[in-house]
Amino acid sequence: MSKKHHKSGMATRLTNYGDEGFSLFLRKAFIKGMGYTDDALSRPVIGIANTFSGYNACHGNVDALVESVKRGVMLAGGLPIDFPTISLHESFSHPTSMYLRNLMALDTEEMIRAQPMDAVVLIGGCDKTVPAQLMAAASAGTPAIQLVTGPMLSGSHRGTRVGACTDCRRYWAAYRGEEIDDQEIVEVNDKLVPTVGTCSVMGTASTMACLAEAMGMMLPDSATAPAVYADRHRIAEQTGSEAVRIAGSRIAPSDIMTEAAFENALRVLLAIGGSTNALIHLTAIAGRLGIDVDLEAFDRMSNETPVLVDLKPSGEHYMEHLHQAGGLAAVLHELRPLLNLDTPTINGRTLGENLDTSVRIINQQVVRPSTDPIYAQGGMAVLNGNLAPHGAIIKQSAASRDLMRHSGRAVVFASMEDLAKRIDDPNLDVNADDILVLQNIGPKGAPGMPEAGYIPIPKKLASQGVKDMVRISDGRMSGTAAGTIVLHVSPEAADGGPLALVRTGDIIRLDVTGRRLELEVDDEQLARRREQLPPSPSATGQSGYQKLFMEQILQAEEGCDFRYCRQAPTRRVPRR
C-alpha cells in the first residue's frame, strides 16, 4: 500500500461494524470520554506497551518511564496512548517464565494488531519480556522501538559488593556448603536487590538489552543505563520522539532486524559472555522473520570472537560499571572489524555512523581491548555427538578449565522431583568426578524448559568444598549462573532424545575443544533401553494454553517458539 493511501492514527484498525465511517465516529466518541480533543486525536498515535506489575520488581520503574515516553511523543507532535500487556518476572512465573514467553508474545502481537497505533514503544526488561516483545514486533510488522527498564544498582553485604543474581547463587551455594549460617543468609537476602531494575550482571535481561541495541531496535547507548538513573528517563523521552519519526517513515521491524543485524547480535552475544538463553530467544525472533540460526556457523563465529566484558558471571564487575565505561559502544568499538557496520538502526543511521559519534572512554577496566580479552574465544560452544544429535550448548567462559575435557560416571535424576528428593541425601552414591544428569526438563518435559540446568552440587560434596562438576540437562540455566554445565540437549528426553536413555553408571565423555558430547554405551544396549521408554507427553486431556503449548512447542534449536508462529526459513545466519 502506498503512503498516499495509508490510514493513520485513530483511523487505523477500525472495529468492523460494516460501516467504516460509523466505526471511526464511535471510536472517537468513546475516547473523547477521557478528555481528548479533535486536535489530539488527529496526531500520529504511538502505542506504549505498559508492562508494569506489582509482581515484577524488574519493571518497578515502568510507570515513570511511560510518562517520560509520553513526553517525548508529545514533544514530537504525536499522541501517546499506553496499554497493558502481560508482564513476566523470572521468580514469579510458575512453572517457569519460559513457559509463558510465547503467551506474552501472542498477547503483545494481538494488542498491537487490534488497537490504533502508527508505531509502538515496547517497554520490557525482565528476562523473557524483551524476547516476547521483539517476537511480537517481528510478527505484527508495525513500526516498533524497544525500551528496556535498565539494570538495578549493586548492593553491599559486610563490605563486599553484591548484586542479583550471580551473588544470589554464590551465597546460596555457600549456605548449602555450610560456609555461612542461617543469620547471614537472611542478612544477605536483604542486600542482593537494593533497587528496582533487572539483574545487575550479564544475565539474560542485560544480555537481551545489549542484543536489542546491537540489532538496532533500541537507541544507541540505551542498553546499560541503570533503572534508577536520570539517564534512563532521558532515553525514554528520546525513544518516544523517535517513535513518532518511525511512524511517519513506516519503518517496519523487518527493515531493522535483517540477517546482518542478527549476525551483529550473535557476535555481541559471544563477546559479552552473554546468557545461553539469549541464543534461544534470538532464534525465536529470527524465526518469526523466516531466518534460521545455523548452530555450526555460530560455533565457527565463536572461535573467532573473544569475550571482552569483565562482568559477572564471567568476570568481576556489574552493569553499572559497564555503563560508566561507555556502555555497549565500548564493546562495539573493539568488535568493529567483525561487525556489519552498514546495517540500519532505529534512529535512521547505520551502526557504523552511530559508533563514529559515540564517546570512547580511555583507561576503563570493564571492556578489555580485543588484544587482551578475558577469554580468547567466544562465550559459548556448540556440542554435538550421540547424546545431542541436534546440538547442545555450554557457556565455556563461565566453566572450569579443568573440566572442559572430562569423562565420568553418570549420576542420573529422572526429573526435578527426583532431583529435589535425592540431591541432598547423605547416602547418595556420588563423587566429585561424576557427571550429574537431569532428564525431562526440556520444553515438553517440564513443561516450559525451566532454569533447572544449574543442578546444585550434592550437599555431601558441597560441604567437602566441591565447587563445580560437569552437569548435563535438556533444560536451561540462568545467565547469572556459572559452572561446567551443558544445556539445551536436543532432542529433549521427554521427546525421545538420547538423554532419556542415560542410566546411572554410564560413562559420558565431554570434550569442549572437540565439540563432542558422547554417551559411551553400545548401540544394542541403547536400542533395548529405547523399547522401554514411555510415550512422549501429548496434549491429550489438556486444555487452554497448556494444550496449545504441548501441541505447538518446538525444540531449543528452533527457539522454543510455537510451530505455527515460525515462518518457513528462507535465509540462514551467520552467513559465513
**Mind listing the pLDDT tens digit of every residue in the chain (576 residues)?**
344 457 899 999 999 999 999 999 999 999 999 999 999 999 999 999 999 999 999 999 999 999 999 999 999 999 999 999 999 999 999 999 999 999 999 999 999 999 999 999 999 999 999 999 999 999 999 999 999 999 999 999 999 999 998 899 899 989 988 999 999 999 999 999 999 999 999 999 999 999 999 999 999 999 999 999 999 999 999 999 999 999 999 999 999 999 999 999 999 999 999 999 999 999 999 999 999 999 999 999 999 999 999 998 888 899 999 999 999 999 999 999 999 999 999 999 999 999 999 999 988 999 999 999 998 887 899 999 999 999 999 999 889 999 999 999 999 999 999 999 999 999 999 999 999 999 999 999 999 999 999 999 999 999 999 999 999 999 999 887 889 999 999 999 999 999 999 999 999 999 999 999 999 999 999 999 999 998 888 877 789 999 999 999 999 999 999 999 999 999 999 997
CB within 8 A of 5, min separation 6: which ones? none
Measured CA to CA, the distance from residue 366 to residue 323 in angstroms comes to 9
Measured CA to CA, the distance from residue 134 to residue 395 in angstroms comes to 24
For 511, the 3-state DSSP assignment is strand
Q: Which CA distances in Å does 416 have to 79, 452, 454, 544?
A: 49, 8, 11, 24
C-alpha cell at 11: 483511523
Measured CA to CA, the distance from residue 307 to residue 297 in angstroms comes to 18
Parallel, antiparallel, or unpaired for β 471-473 and 485-487? parallel
| Residue-level pLDDT at 2 | 41
28-63 exposure pattern, b = at least 16 Cβ within 10 A, e = fewer: eeeeeeeeeeeeebebbbbbbbbbbbeebbbbbbbe
Measured CA to CA, the distance from residue 37 to residue 492 in angstroms comes to 56
Measured CA to CA, the distance from residue 359 to residue 323 in angstroms comes to 12
Measured CA to CA, the distance from residue 58 to residue 276 in angstroms comes to 20
| Residue-level pLDDT at 1 | 36
| Residue-level pLDDT at 166 | 87
Contact 217, 258 (CB under 8 A): no
Residue position matching grid coordinates 536520570: 230
| Residue-level pLDDT at 379 | 85
Instruction: State residue 292 phi and psi, 5-degree precision.
Output: -100, 140
Contact 395, 485 (CB under 8 A): yes
| Residue-level pLDDT at 432 | 97
For 58, the 3-state DSSP assignment is helix
Measured CA to CA, the distance from residue 309 to residue 113 in angstroms comes to 39
C-alpha cell at 355: 559508533
| Closest-CA residue to 393 (of 479, 458, 304) | 479
| Residue-level pLDDT at 273 | 92
Measured CA to CA, the distance from residue 199 to residue 476 in angstroms comes to 17
Phi-psi region of 143 (alpha: psi -120 to 50; beta: other; left: phi over 0): beta
Measured CA to CA, the distance from residue 532 to residue 274 in angstroms comes to 39
| Residue-level pLDDT at 247 | 97
What digits encode the pLDDT tens for the residues 79-137? Answer: 999 999 999 999 999 999 999 999 999 999 999 999 999 999 999 999 999 999 999 99
Measured CA to CA, the distance from residue 490 to residue 500 in angstroms comes to 11
Measured CA to CA, the distance from residue 323 to residue 374 in angstroms comes to 18
What digits encode the pLDDT tens for the residues 222-267? Answer: 999 999 999 999 999 999 999 999 999 999 999 999 999 999 999 9
